[in-house]
Amino acid sequence: MTHKTERRALLHVTDQTGIVEFAWALQELGFKFIADAGTAHTLRQAELEVSDVRSHPHLLSFLADSRETGVKDQAGPRGPAIDLVAVNLYPLAELSVSELPQAEALGCVDVEGSAFLRAGARNFRQVICLCDPEDYGPALESLRQHGNLSPERRQLLAAKAFHYSAYYDSTVAQYLGSRWDRLPPELVMGLRKSAEFPYGENPHQKGALYALSGARPWGVNQARLLYGRPLSFNHYFDLDAAWELAGGFPEPACAIVKHGVPAGAAVSKSLAEAAKLAYRGDPRGCLRGTAAVNREVDESAADFFAQEMLSCIAAPGFSAKALAALKLRKDIRLVTMPSTLISPDELDFRSVAGGVLVQSCDHQPLPEILKSLTRRSPTEPEMNSLRLAWRVAKHCRTHAAVVARGGQTIGIGGGQTSRLDAVRLALLKSRERHPLVADDLPTVLASDGDLAPEHVLEAAQGGVKAIILPGLTGEYEGAVEACDEHGLAVAFTGVRHFRH
């Protein structure tokens, strides 16, 4: 059905997908066109008649005003009535604006298009507002059948336009203000869905992954599935924890996480050995867990992984032979992650009822020089194991205790309401999994908080030879005396890593 009444469409698109076909269909419905220079050029090449937006200096103010307020009867310059707005903006979120000079990045900000989009959305009762080429088809269908869109549909499209515009503005805001001396009074986040799941943490919950606009290109939002069934909500949760833990080690490392909790971690001269030690530190805990490594998976490491029951393996890459070996397993997912780098300016968000708790991420490294107040200082082998245990404890839920030996964790106790329970749990796991421990390598303990004499006694009775802890409270003074009494060495970090 062709409509004889003349109507106007304002077209201002960076993504020109389908715009020519859309314009031809609109012309058949009686629309005339106003467009920005780039869109006008494309439409004229398609032999469509277009008026340049620059020839309508008062277009924005007229578009923003409702026709119900009597604008047409007001004195002063008026613009043409606009019935439809189709606007999409320069894809700043897909551009690494943080890598561009500031002047160039800001030069990409589409001020005019954003203003047109918001003005049209504000006046949605009279203006059809489109910001997504996927909406062109349904809009045309409704115009052909009914000559218009329903008020409900117009409102949904306006809401979509405001979300789109807010996402765009938040990208610019995050680019300009990502480094603060203190958290700002207003904080915006631009989020775009990058994966949708059949359900969330439980089958009755909805779930999706949203990428933070302008976020670092090396987080789980950049995970690429090479093989296996799609990743679930819980896989991404475990991937994030395992990847962050494994990426904190300079030497070849493997971390295995289940339900967001570290189950095993190890470092070694080879990735295959690190993987073997991590899994065997707690085979029951690592069963069907998510593993992350900080080196390309080679054939030797793949041969080991292929023997064990793991749900997912994340790595910077997989060799061709490693991929061939692991693809023999039908119940595994292989994921590549682009980098183990971290950003010191990232924020940690925790959802609470009615709001969000925000803090800077805990990227505080272990100090190079550690203080010791005990009569005996940790030996070099003890110190190597203590550093491993400390890094793992940092990623456990508080209260946390980690028992390690050599380059391997052998008992992890986290998420306890009592620190004594955390120490006992870690020691119990170490004895259950490794009842016979040779004397050539010392057993050590890391605690994410300071210990009291009763904790030290429990550790000494469990065969621990050295302890690492923050040393920030008065409690450690009694712990030093207890350690001297039992011949234990202590290293103080001066840093606390609570995680709730």
For residue 214, being part of any structural domain is answered with no
Domain's final residue, options 282, 313, 336:
336
117 and 38 in one domain?
Answer: yes
Three-class SS state of 251: coil
For residue 357, being part of any structural domain is answered with no
For residue 33, being part of any structural domain is answered with yes
Phi and psi of 348, rounded to 5°?
-110, 125
- DSSP structure string for 473-489: STHHHHHHHHHHHHT-E
Residue-range definition of the domain harbouring residue 404:
367-492
Three-class SS state of 407: coil
Tokens 């304002």 correspond to what residue?
10
- Say if residues 88 and 114 touch (Cβ distance below 8 Å): no
128 and 58 in one domain?
Answer: yes
Over the chain (500 residues), the average pLDDT of each successive run of 10 is: 70 95 95 94 94 82 56 49 92 66 80 92 94 96 94 96 91 75 80 91 95 72 92 95 93 96 96 96 94 96 95 96 93 88 74 90 87 92 96 95 95 95 95 68 94 94 94 79 94 91
Q: Tally the domains of the chain.
A: 3
Question: What is the edge-to-edge ordering of all strands in the sheet holding 84-88?
Answer: 51-52, 31-35, 7-13, 84-88, 128-130
Taking alpha carbons only, the member of 176, 164, 165, 159 closest to residue 214 is 176
139 and 254 in one domain?
Answer: no
228 and 131 in one domain?
Answer: no
Q: What is the CATH number for 166?
A: 3.40.50.1380
279 and 393 in one domain?
Answer: no
Cα(173)–Cα(177) distance, rounded to whole angstroms?
6
Q: In this predicted structure, what is the pLDDT of residue 74? A: 44
pTM above 0.85, yes or no: no
For residue 342, being part of any structural domain is answered with no
Cβ within 8 Å of residue 142, ≥6 positions away:
148, 149, 150, 153
For residue 192, being part of any structural domain is answered with no
Tokens 């803090």 correspond to what residue?
359
For residue 355, being part of any structural domain is answered with no
Q: In this predicted structure, what is the pLDDT of residue 222? A: 84
Q: pLDDT tens-digit profile of 184-239?
A: 888 888 888 889 999 999 999 999 998 887 666 667 888 999 999 999 999 999 99
Q: What is the CATH number for 429?
A: 3.40.140.20
For residue 402, being part of any structural domain is answered with yes
Cβ within 8 Å of residue 247, ≥6 positions away:
292, 294, 340, 341, 342
Q: In this predicted structure, what is the pLDDT of residue 73? A: 42
485 and 400 in one domain?
Answer: yes
